[in-house]
Structure 1
């Protein structure tokens, strides 16, 4: 999200000019906009030249023109399937095509500029706005998983895990083929890994494949005079993995966690690791599933709520509101609420456990009996 211009003061009226740049920005703005806010933007209106002549066969008499409109919002709707955000409200400024007070529905899309005005910008609204503008979804962790015959290149941020490239090796096992395989990985690395944003590169493989590729990578970078790679040798870390392409295994490695502790990618990864470790070592301090989590919250036991954004985007309005209220209530009670992106590796893991879980302040050994 790009903030073009802003005039904001805490707990005062104010406005901001916004351009949405990414898919997730639509969801962020959906949670920012409220009834009673006003939006100013361009929209298209249908104009009829000669109303008496307009029939199904004479549609040339209808055309659309662009006008600037200011509406006071009465309803906001987000449709994840079509990636659409629609706001409906009454027009505040009359023009030749639209009367004051007339209802209109605006479709908010990526790369479309609009002004949002609120009568009061509270701390939550300002914080959410600035977080959204910080490019939170930009990846700052790269992971390359190399097996004997294949490799995968991932970019990971705190909102998304992207599989950028898959490289397959030839079945013939000789040095020429091996170098061709490494060359493919090298090309994918150069294309997708930008050290202006990526702060750590993890190379994972069974055996010594990762060390062999690391040597090839630095040798090629030196030959091609790619100084940025050689200057960032300290950002690389090697991790041993099994024969499966286990991204989870890599991200839970203690050495990796230490290196990425200050990256944007780590919040969801660290929270889910803490939760999954508690399930194994101290299960009375962790729970998952709607009923268990709600019961734990009633007992003021939630230290951290883990919830997927899919639940907060549910088409079931009542269900969506229920979970949004739960998030607010947990925060009000002094707990943390971490929203996991469904496109992030940790979000996928949480979704397999109903999409909602909690780390507890104190053990609740009888929680299952309390919800029966």
Structure 2
């Protein structure tokens, strides 16, 4: 994301102009824009003109509109953001108060005006515009006949392709059908990798499966690469990492990303940091439950006692349309930062973020035990 202009005063009022440079930036825009904000951007409007003879013609014109956002629709596969709202600035083609839709796309600048820029929004702008935040990872989770080819960016896990093929079972005296089916399946997965993974950007490609499927596939892929002299695969052989997973489904990525070998390979990615923090929370919950809590009330009480070492919070909570609710979570984040705690904002499009959302979207690892919170929890359950 490119920051073109920023003017935010001490009270938090102001405008920020941004240019999304890649699909990931549209996700950041989705997290920044809230219902009630004003967004100015370029759009195409169909205009009807009537001639002196009474005949009317319609043509499409490009114009710049400012709308007050009423609905936000994020198209994940296309990485496109559709904003709908009323026009709030004079325009020769669109009446004041008329509804219009703005599409935010890559390489199309937009200006965002908020009644109040809080610390979470400003941090999001800073993070989106920091090039060191982008460290991309490819992953193929597979089992016989099923594979998911995924791209793991700093903010989301995107399934680029799903390959589902039936492979005949091995039968006594007739293994050929099984072998042929397996080769067809491996060929489809290899083509999927070549089509969807850009090796210029991706630093590492994980191949995960139960048993020996990953090893068989890896061997097949590089035998084919040698036969066909596929330079893309041969030059990037060192980027592949074979790891174990329990299945070929997307949710297996969580255990894959927690593997120490994987963590070492992708230590600089945000996805790995989220997974490590989530693992630390679950470990603490088992080993020392008086130092791990989830749910707003318990976490808030721990924050009041300046006991939070790491706050885990889902970005879903900052997209709520209730301004009072959002302010509540922003105040919590600020108080944890002020007391020297670490704040991790989890992406709801990552497997670890989905996991956190199941735990109310908010959790904390404490510096010291607070058994009184545990007793409170038990008394609530008793009631």
- How many Å apart are 1:237 and its aligned residue? 2.1
Cα deviation digits, residues 172-207 of structure 1 (max 9, x gap)? 443222211111111111112222222122222222
Q: Does 1:225 align with 2:229?
A: yes
What CA distance in whole angstroms lies between the structure 2 residues aligned with 1:249 and 1:332?
Answer: 33
Moved over 6 A (4+): 7-11, 43-50, 60-65, 86-90, 94-99, 102-106, 120-126, 135-139
The within-5 A match list for 1:5-24 is 5-6=4-5, 17-20=17-20, 22=23, 23-24=26-27
What CA distance in whole angstroms lies between the structure 2 residues aligned with 1:95 and 1:152?
Answer: 47
- How many Å apart are 1:251 and its aligned residue? 1.4
What CA distance in whole angstroms lies between the structure 2 residues aligned with 1:359 and 1:269?
Answer: 14
- How many Å apart are 1:341 and its aligned residue? 1.9
- How many Å apart are 1:149 and its aligned residue? 3.1
Q: Does 1:208 align with 2:204?
A: no
How large is the RMSD of aligned CA atoms in angstroms? 4.2
Residue aligning to 1:315: 321
SS at match of 2:279: helix
Q: Does 1:237 align with 2:234?
A: no
What CA distance in whole angstroms lies between the structure 2 residues aligned with 1:241 and 1:40?
Answer: 46
Partner of residue 260 from structure 2, selected from 254, 259, 273 = 254
Residue aligning to 1:362: 368
What CA distance in whole angstroms lies between the structure 1 residues aligned with 2:18 and 2:288?
Answer: 46
What CA distance in whole angstroms lies between the structure 2 residues aligned with 1:367 and 1:286?
Answer: 10
Change (3 A) 1:238 1:68: closer
Residue aligning to 1:160: 156
Residue aligning to 2:30: 27
What CA distance in whole angstroms lies between the structure 2 residues aligned with 1:9 and 1:251?
Answer: 38
Change (3 A) 1:67 1:232: closer
Change (3 A) 1:162 1:136: farther
The within-5 A match list for 1:101-140 is 108-111=102-105, 112-115=108-111, 128-134=124-130, 140=136
- How many Å apart are 1:152 and its aligned residue? 2.1
Cα deviation digits, residues 119-166 of structure 1 (max 9, x gap)? x99998765334224579967122222223322222212211122222
- How many Å apart are 1:288 and its aligned residue? 0.9
Partner of residue 335 from structure 1, selected from 302, 327, 341 = 341
Report if the CA contact (8 A) 1:139-1:157 is conserved: yes
What 5-or-longer segments of structure 1 have no aligned partner? 51-57
What CA distance in whole angstroms lies between the structure 1 residues aligned with 2:247 and 2:45?
Answer: 59
What 5-or-longer segments of structure 2 have no aligned partner? 76-80, 171-177
Change (3 A) 1:318 1:121: closer
Q: Does 1:345 align with 2:339?
A: no
The within-5 A match list for 1:62-81 is 68=64, 79=72
Give me the TM-score of the superposition, normalised by structure 2: 0.74
Change (3 A) 1:302 1:315: same
SS at match of 1:109: strand
Partner of residue 171 from structure 1, selected from 168, 192, 198 = 168
Change (3 A) 1:297 1:190: same
SS at match of 1:338: strand
